Amino acid sequence: MLVPSYLIFLFVLCIVFCSAMLGMWVSRRLPAHHMAAEVKSTVSVSMAIVGTMTALVISFLISSANSSFKSSNDVIFKISSDISQIDGFLRRYGPETEPIRESLQRLTALVIEGLFSDKASGRHTVDSPDVVRSLGEVQDRILALKPSDDRLRWLRAESLNLAASIGSARSLMVQQEKHTNLPLAFIGAVVVWLVVIFGSFGFFAPRNVTTVVSLLLSTFAVAIAFKLILDLDHPYDHGVRLSMPPIHISSEPLRHTLEKIRHP
């Protein structure tokens, strides 16, 4: 994400709330006939149409962002499943695969460290050169195996297929991180509509503290919705976090490898 979601949250909060305050300010400087009941009725009906469109588009944006988030989560769980299956196949292959399983432990630790570690920046590392090298090492070592019968050949072939699947899933994660699924034109249109709607609210609202606080809370809720949408669409940044998958391989070697990565 080029602009952090919290900055967009603050921008939406400020511009929409200021539009309501501007409406209040303008209403005090217009002739009285601009505040007539007929004018208020006409504006209310017009804003109801705009409000309905805004609600529909916000619902669409939330649905789109949620689909993007679930897709990213599914990719992570796919990688987890593939790693677990490779480890199981290599265990069945025999003791000669122990060095490969150690490389797989390191690959797993690098993936976990990159995606789920608590970093000060709050940003996860998706396109890590270390992960690419570690995955290549696992693939090369599996290719170097010399199976002596059909059973071992099948285990080797399945392990290679799963390792290739991990590479494809990692490439998909990188693409998901770099591209947004949200139609930015819709987001811009919704912000403009909200400015118009809240400007009309302020135009006819009574000028007192209760009204101002109510408008502020309403704009805060709308701005939070925008932040949630952007966080869901970029799950590798700040905000909403992906679920850490249960990777079913030996926990002690994995924990030891993680410690070596974090404290070299």
- Spell out the SS3 assignment of the chain: CCCCHHHHHHHHHHHHHHHHHHHHHHHCCCCHHHHCHHHHHHHHHHHHHHHHHHHHHHHHHHHHHHHHHHHHHHHHHHHHHHHHHHHHHHHHHCHHHHHHHHHHHHHHHHHHHHHHCCCCCCCCCCCCHHHHHHHHHHHHHHHCCCCCCHHHHHHHHHHHHHHHHHHHHHHHHHHHHHCCCCCHHHHHHHHHHHHHHHHHHHHHCCCCHHHHHHHHHHHHHHHHHHHHHHHHHCCCCCCCCCCCCCCCCCHHHHHHHHHHHHCC
149 φ/ψ angles, rounded to the nearest 5 degrees: -150, 175
pLDDT in tens, 125-163: 667 788 889 889 999 999 999 998 999 999 999 999 999
- pLDDT number for residue 142: 92
- Is the predicted pLDDT of residue 263 greater than 70, yes or no? no
Q: What's the pLDDT score for residue 258? A: 47
Q: How far is CA 100 from its chain centroid?
A: 33
- At 218 the pLDDT is 93
Closest CA to 218 of 204, 198, 246, 241: 198
pLDDT of 216 = 94
User: Higher pLDDT residue, 3 or 202?
Assistant: 202
